[in-house]
């Protein structure tokens, strides 16, 4: 297994590379951290899991410590006591198996829509990774069953609501543990809903009968919110570059200048992300005939509007936010989150490492960045449609203004999404609600922060798609002037799903078609086919 580092997450392969990368034959889970790419491969591309034999030996050695405590008359949390506010209640040895099973059953109390398959697979892999550190005290066969369930393509049904992000993502993880016990409902490899017992039997997997400490170890982690953070970072590495592509197309279509993206000007403010974004814009606009057509002293524009001129500053700040989030994620990947935990010297100790604050904060921070990048994109879209600001383009890019409305309502759609993203940018992590009879009196709401970030990134992709569709039509209307090779390749790709200028037509399918090109990484791949890998 490769140990993940902040740099490995901060500068992974491009999204277009990821889309074209063959799924690895397997991902090995052992005592070290799973990597960013391991999580994405298992969650999104169905990579198989292998368990490191030496790590399994370590799991067995730690389990022996737990077994040695089962007859101890002194209470040990999660082994011979109840949970949460019931931590002082001693449980006799003949009731402890029931205690663990009851814990999972009672905590599998989620409600609402199903959580996406990729999220469930990510959180299960991350929980398995922690089990394999040997710090949780589970039996080796329990870890092996988790791997088998993932490899069989069985996905426990997890519900939207249930986690407060403290004591881990209890309800989501409990739904997964319940399935491993052969209870509850799952979706099989074909996506069909089935009883867990039937799905496990069909795959030849024996359900786990939990022993002391195991129920607690299976549900006491921040794996759900961390999994969603890692998937969000995978999305953002595509979306941030796509935002640069969209901005470059708008600079051309609105007869803007690339002079402000010069390296020496950007170096006067050496913010890392800003420099990367500006370098992308220079590459995307290199050799553009339409930019060259009005460059030089004869250009009547003194300076472009902020939504064009300041694109590297905003897109770059979002990149730097993602880089900070990647640093946090890398440290979380190195963590063994459980309570109690078995220390390296064999002690069984309670702790607070399950609190989701570190992850919740950066999830909220990313939602702010996504909202702001989308807001700038929508302003560029609107500029194309306003005759007072579009430098000669027809009103709303309509074929026959008045009879036709052009892209008027496409901008409404983008504006509505941006307003939603602003609401989603309100941080979840500043909220807390006491639970478990005030034993858990401060919680992170990290799961909620992750859920709303997923919606934010979906919205960002849609807003960028509308800008790209709009700028493609505007570039058509600038003929005989032509865009650069990279932006021209994107416009040609857009034309495969959305027609050019003409009388009004049913627009929603065209918008959805371009959204698909953005979300799949096809837009980025088209641009990078000319420029090479963007930063």
Q: Would you say 48 and 25 are in contact if contact means Cβ atoms under 8 Å apart? A: yes
- Active-site residue (options: 77, 161, 306, 412): 77
Q: Which two tokens stand for residue 353?
A: 């490492």
Active site residue 306: no
Q: Which of 269, 235, 215, 254 is nearest to 102 (CA)?
A: 215
**Count of C-beta atoms within a 10 Å radius of residue 396:** 21
**Taken in order 59, 61, 67, 72, is the CA torsion positive or negative?**
negative
Residue 342: strand pairing partners:
348
User: Strands 185-187, 155-156: parallel, antiparallel or unpaired by DSSP?
Assistant: antiparallel
Q: Which two tokens stand for residue 436?
A: 């478990």
Q: Which two tokens stand for residue 361?
A: 């904060």
Residue with tokens 């029931």: 98
d(CA 370, CA 426): 12
d(CA 218, CA 173): 7
Residue with tokens 């800008």: 467
Q: How many CA atoms lie within 13 A of 336 on its CB side?
A: 20
* Size (the chain), residues: 535
* Residues 6+ away with beta carbon under 8 Å from 310: 376
Residue with tokens 């399918």: 509
Instruction: Tell me which DSSP letter residue 341 carries.
Output: E
Instruction: Write out the H or E segment, with its range, that includes residue 114.
Output: strand 111-114
Q: Supply the residues annotated as catalytic.
A: 77
């Amino acid at each position: 297994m490769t140990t993940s580092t902040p740099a490995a997450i901060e500068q992974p392969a491009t999204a277009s590379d990821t889309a074209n990368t063959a799924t690895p034959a397997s991902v090995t889970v052992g005592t070290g951290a799973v990597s960013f790419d391991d999580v994405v491969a298992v969650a999104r591309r169905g990579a198989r899991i292998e368990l490191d034999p030496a790590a399994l030996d370590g799991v067995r050695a730690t389990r022996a410590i737990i077994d040695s405590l089962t007859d101890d008359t002194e209470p040990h949390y999660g082994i011979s006591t109840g949970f949460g506010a019931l931590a002082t209640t001693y449980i006799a040895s003949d009731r402890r198996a029931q205690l663990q099973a009851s814990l999972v059953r009672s905590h599998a109390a989620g409600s609402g829509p199903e959580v996406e398959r990729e999220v469930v697979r990510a959180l299960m892999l991350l929980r398995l990774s922690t089990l394999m550190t040997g710090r949780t005290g589970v039996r080796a066969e329990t870890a092996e069953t988790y791997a088998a369930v993932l490899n069989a393509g069985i996905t426990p049904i997890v519900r939207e609501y249930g986690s407060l992000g403290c004591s881990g993502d209890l309800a989501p993880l409990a739904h997964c543990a319940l399935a491993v016990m052969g209870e509850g409902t799952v979706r099989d490899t074909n996506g069909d809903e089935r009883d867990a017992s039937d799905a496990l039997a069909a795959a030849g997997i024996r359900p786990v009968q939990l022993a002391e400490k195991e129920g607690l170890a299976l549900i006491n982690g921040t794996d759900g919110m961390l999994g969603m953070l890692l998937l969000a970072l995978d999305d953002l590495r595509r979306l941030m570059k796509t935002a640069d592509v969209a901005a470059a197309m708008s600079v051309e279509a609105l007869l803007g200048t690339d002079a402000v993206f010069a390296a020496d000007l950007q170096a006067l403010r050496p913010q890392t992300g800003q420099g990367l974004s500006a370098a992308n814009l220079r590459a995307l606009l290199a050799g553009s005939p339409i930019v060259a057509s009005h460059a030089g002293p004869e250009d009547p524009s003194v300076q472009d509007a902020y939504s064009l001129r300041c694109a590297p500053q905003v897109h770059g700040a979002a990149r730097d936010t993602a880089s900070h989030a990647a640093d946090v994620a890398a440290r979380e990947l190195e963590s063994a989150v459980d309570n109690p935990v078995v220390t390296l010297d064999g002690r069984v100790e309670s702790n607070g490492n399950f609190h989701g604050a570190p992850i919740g904060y950066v999830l909220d921070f990313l939602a702010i960045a996504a909202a702001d990048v989308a807001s700038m994109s929508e302003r560029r879209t609107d500029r194309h449609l306003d005759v007072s600001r579009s430098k000669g383009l027809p009103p709303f890019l309509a074929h026959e203004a008045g009879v036709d409305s052009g892209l008027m309502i496409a901008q409404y759609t983008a504006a509505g999404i941006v307003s939603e993203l602003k609401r989603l940018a309100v941080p979840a992590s500043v909220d807390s609600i006491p639970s478990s009879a005030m034993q858990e009196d401060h919680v992170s709401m990290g799961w909620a922060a992750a859920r709303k970030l997923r919606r934010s990134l979906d919205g960002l992709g849609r807003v960028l798609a509308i800008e790209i569709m709009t700028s493609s039509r505007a570039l058509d209307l600038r003929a005989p002037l032509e865009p650069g090779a990279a932006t021209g390749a994107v416009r040609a790709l857009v034309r495969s799903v959305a027609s050019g200028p003409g009388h009004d037509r049913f627009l929603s399918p065209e918008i959805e078609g371009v959204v698909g090109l953005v979300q799949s990484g096809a837009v980025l791949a088209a641009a990078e086919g000319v420029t090479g890998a963007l930063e």
